[in-house]
Amino acid sequence: MLTLQEQSILQELARAYAACAAQPKHAEKRELWLALNRCKMRRPMVLIDQIPWNEMDVDGSLACHVEDPYWRGVETWLRRTLYQQKYMPVDQVLTPYIQLPRPIHSTGWGLEVERTILQMDATSDVVSQSYHNQIRDFSDLEKLHTPVITLDREKEAQILAEAEAVFTGICPYRLVGQTMHLGLWDQIAQWMGVENCYIELMDRPELIHALMEKLTRCTLEEIAQRNALGVFDVDSHLCHCSHTFSDDLPLADCDPQRPTSSSAWAFGLAQLFTSVSPAITAEFEVAYMRRIFPHFGAIYYGCCDRLDDRLDVIEKLPRVRKISCSPWSDRDRFAANLPHKYVMSNKPNPVFVASGTLDEDAVREDLRHTIGAARTHGVDLEIILKDISTVSYKPDCLWRWAQIAQEEVER
């Protein structure tokens, strides 16, 4: 139960959010995102995400005071959103409602991650991890089972009652579902360790095929559970750090109270496949995702994986609309080979903001290289700075990167 003081804190934040969300710039930028996402870009778009928040609080505005874990999460989201709008808004669009996560739970796969952790900073979520191999033979596949998905309807009713008491007359609010992470290789790497994955791909491909077959079937069963509950996200307009405003999604017949996967975005990736051949990507990733992706309205594909040398393989995946061009991809080659039905989702290297000093000339040169490659080949472009492990407690470097990026895309 929220105290009166906690309600007052949330109400103050809601007023600030409502005032910011009502600014005309959000409607204008939403139209720019719609144009980009229909591959009729007016200009490249910019976002910043996955920020080292433990290093950012220069004015005390990020300190949270609500005790209840659920509402503390809402408070955190409001504070971080307002902070971004103040210091590094770039092309972030605020929804005209406060987003309240639905209380959705998963039992998981039945196999816990076993790892050794080296933490960079006592206040940071960024860690170096060494994973212990738990899938050594076919018998270990029996440890895995389909996650059981549930919606806590009693908790949801409580959330709505408390939201009505807190936000009515201040700002609209809306329950928001979940976006599915379809990167099975991220999970496998945590169960086996990256090196062991590579070794088994070479030595026992039949084991890896059996593992992927089981995970694919389990994922399809999980999608069916989530569809039965109607808990997919169609309201945040975000997928894997990218805005997803679309003319055709959600579908016209989508029940806004029970959204299903056919109206939703999801994201897939196989990051460790940067160090395997395109043929291995086709055999051990694309062949399985081709069975999963058709269940969704749209897919964002890729993350830190190198994809410039295998775009013809990725093109075989259905429903894909955006493809990641990570710092490990050759931007010129990527733009030259990207079919024009996709958005090039470029990820600048976060090293530019990591040292505590910003080489502004290098930042401009890097951005102009990306924009120039996209322009040369007529590619629709978004630029998303993410995976920012540190700014060396100098957040103004990130703020300045945002200013420079905005200047460059508007040139």
What pLDDT is recorded for position 126?
A: 72
What pLDDT is recorded for position 120?
A: 66
Task: Write out the H or E segment, with its range, that includes residue 243.
Answer: strand 242-243
Q: What is the DSSP letter of 178?
A: B
What are 212-266's pLDDT values in tens digits?
A: 999 999 999 999 999 999 999 999 999 999 999 999 999 999 999 999 999 999 9
Inform me whether the pLDDT recorded for 287 exceeds 70: yes
Token pair in block for residue 252: 């016209």
What are 59-103's pLDDT values in tens digits?
A: 999 999 999 999 999 999 999 999 999 999 999 999 999 999 999
How many angstroms separate the CA atoms of 323 and 226, rounded? 25
Q: What average pLDDT does the segment 4-10 reach?
A: 97
For 396, other C-beta atoms within 10 Å of its C-beta total 14
What are 266-276's pLDDT values in tens digits?
A: 999 999 999 99
Token pair in block for residue 219: 């994922």
Token pair in block for residue 344: 């090039």
Inform me whether the pLDDT recorded for 115 exceeds 90: no
Q: What is the DSSP letter of 253?
A: T
The b/e string for 316-352 (b: 16+ C-beta within 10 A; e otherwise) is ebebbbbbbbbeebebbebbebbeeebbbbbbbebeb
Q: What is the DSSP letter of 356?
A: S
Beta partners for residue 266, in sequence order: 299
What pLDDT is recorded for position 127?
A: 75
Counting residues of the chain whose pLDDT is more than 90, the rounded percentage is 95
Token pair in block for residue 267: 């994201």
What pLDDT is recorded for position 276?
A: 97
What pLDDT is recorded for position 128?
A: 82
Cis peptide before 250 (omega within 30 of 0): yes
Q: How much is the pTM?
A: 0.96
How many angstroms separate the CA atoms of 28 and 310, rounded? 35
How many angstroms separate the CA atoms of 276 and 270, rounded? 10
Counting residues of the chain whose pLDDT is more than 70, the rounded percentage is 100
Average pLDDT value over all residues in the chain: 96
What is the domain count for the chain? 1
How many angstroms separate the CA atoms of 248 and 263, rounded? 9
Residue 96's nearest CA partner among 166, 29, 160, 172 is: 172
Domain that holds residue 376: 4-409
How many angstroms separate the CA atoms of 349 and 354, rounded? 10
The b/e string for 243-253 (b: 16+ C-beta within 10 A; e otherwise) is bbbbeebbeee
CATH of the domain at 362: 3.20.20.210
How many angstroms separate the CA atoms of 196 and 189, rounded? 8
What pLDDT is recorded for position 85?
A: 98
Residue type at 91 in one-letter notation: D
What are 31-48's pLDDT values in tens digits?
A: 999 999 999 999 999 999
**Which region among 127-136, 173-182, 237-246, 388-397 has the lowest average model confidence (pLDDT)?**
127-136
